Amino acid sequence: MGIKEMINRLKGKKFTPFKVEAVYVNIELIYDWCANNGYSITEFCKQVGILRQSFYQYGKGQSPSLATRRKIMRITGLKEKDLFVKNGKAQRGRVSA
């Protein structure tokens, strides 16, 4: 789907803001998972649909989006409580109503 189609599809939709708790990502656990399953970090990032730079930012404390969190859990099969630790900060986002 191209940009124009996406814009047309979303025209007139209302988005409601929301806040969730931001998290720290257990990068070491993901490194171990990749090593044990024969993935490079680049391959893992492609599977999740994120840039490698974003992955490294997660290691520095940036919190991934809710959709990215779900993808990481789905691909690795690891539990949320093992992968993510709440950091007490709010994370903003938008969801279509």
Q: Does any domain span residue 6?
A: no
Q: Token match 């656990």: residue?
A: 29
DSSP labels for 28-58? HHHHHHHHHHT--HHHHHHHHT--HHHHHHH
Q: Does any domain span residue 54?
A: yes
Q: What's the domain range around 40? A: 24-96
Q: Does any domain span residue 31?
A: yes
Residue 33 has pLDDT above 90, yes or no: yes
Q: How many domains does the chain have?
A: 1
Task: Indicate the pairing of strand 84-96 with strand 15-25.
Answer: antiparallel
Q: Does any domain span residue 89?
A: yes
pTM passes above 0.75: no
Helix H or strand E segment including 81 = helix 80-83
Q: Does any domain span residue 14?
A: no
| Spatial distance between the Cα atoms of 75 and 73, rounded to a whole number of angstroms | 6
State the pLDDT at residue 86.
84
The domain spanning residue 79 has which CATH number?
Answer: 1.10.260.40
Residue 13 has pLDDT above 80, yes or no: no
